[in-house]
Amino acid sequence: MPNEFGLEIINLSKSFDNHTVFDDFNLAIPKGEIIGIYGPNGCGKSTFLHLLAGIQEPDKGTIRINNKKPKEIKPGIVFQNYSDHLLPWKKTMENIFLQEKIQKNTRSEEMLDHLSDSQKNLFQNLYPYELSGGQQQLSSILRSLINTDDLILLDEPFSSLDQNIKNQAHDLILKNRQNDRTIVLVTHDLLDSVYLSDRIIVLKGTPVHNKYLNLNTKYNFKDKIDLLHSSFFSDIYKQTMEYIAS
């Protein structure tokens, strides 16, 4: 019987030249969760996402997503430097639907319902390089959510978004939760992370061993403001900061 893990990492090791980023790292996450990854600059968050995406190969160890090999799934991904990953030869809207078009030859128009008319216009008429940073990032998020079955990887996906658009993005992500879909969210904004995630993995500098904080962050607040002012959040905040400072 297959196990029930959405994400399973076994004895993962990865180095660049003489710099070890992961050293025998293990992690198992139930299916259907949103996982926040939190940790200092250069601790290996982006590397982790690249490994999950199959962009980089582990030196050692195994990665399973819904019990499949990374090569067998087609993840959606927002890169940290999102603007480099939009194709300048295609209009923004074509970029948004490109992955789906290539892989399934369908077009999930319903995704557009979440956009305002002016956003739709923008994406329809302009090439990515004609957009502002935040507009590019929003289109990257949309692209990553369309057509992906098992895994969505979000590397600092709100870094250029204003308050309203960030909320729009949060809604989009929450609406796209699915039982057999794992969403990995890397962000330095702990509030965003707690708000969206079911669990936060806190890493602490390189190399990443098997010591990390695995915080359950499921909660019951109505909205972000309530969450911010809750003792639940300040607890998590304290734990995280203490762990990182330790």
Partner 1 sequence: MKRSKILYAIGPIAILAGWYFFAYYPTNFNILIPKPVQVMLSFKNFPQILMKSTIATLYTWSTGTLLGIILGILIGFICGYYQNLFKIIEIPLDFFRSIPSITLLPIVALFLGSGLTAKFFIVTFVTFLYVFIHTTYGIKYSRTSKQNLALAWRLNPWQNFREIIFYSSLPSIFAGIRTAITLGLIATISSEMTILGTAGLGKKIIDNMVIYNTTEMYEIIIIIGLIGYATNKLIVILENNVIHWKGH
Ligand X SMILES: Nc1ncnc2c1ncn2[C@@H]1O[C@H](COP(=O)(O)OP(=O)(O)OP(=O)(O)O)[C@@H](O)[C@H]1O
CA 7 – CA 30 distance, rounded (Å): 7
Residue type, 204: K
List of E strands, the chain: 5-16, 19-30, 34-38, 60-65, 76-78, 151-155, 182-186, 199-202, 213-216
The Cβ of residue 216 has, within 10 Å, a number of other Cβ atoms equal to: 10
Helix H or strand E segment including 160? none
**How near is the Cβ of 231 to a copy of itself at its closest, in Å?**
15
CA 207 – CA 51 distance, rounded (Å): 15
Choice between 151 and 169, CB closer to a copy of itself: 169
Residue 232 contacts partner 1 per CB under 8 A: no
Where does this chain bind a copy of itself (CB under 8 A)?
16, 39-43, 45-46, 80-81, 83-84, 122, 130-135, 138, 155-156, 159-166, 188, 241
Task: Tell me the window of 41-49, 87-95, 110-118, 232-240 that interacts with ligand X (CB under 6 A).
Answer: 41-49
Q: Are strands 19-30 and 76-78 parallel, antiparallel or unpaired?
A: unpaired
- Which parts of 73-102 interact with Mg ion (CB under 5 A)? 80
Residue 99 contacts partner 1 per CB under 8 A: yes
Residue 163 contacts ligand X per CB under 6 A: no
Task: Tell me the window of 6-14, 67-75, 215-223, 230-238 that interacts with partner 1 (CB under 8 A).
Answer: 67-75
**How near is the Cβ of 82 to ligand X at its closest, in Å?**
11
Question: Do the beta carbons of residue 200 and residue 193 sit within 8 Å?
Answer: yes
**Residues binding ligand X (CB under 6 A):** 16-17, 19, 21, 41-47, 80, 126, 130-135, 160, 206
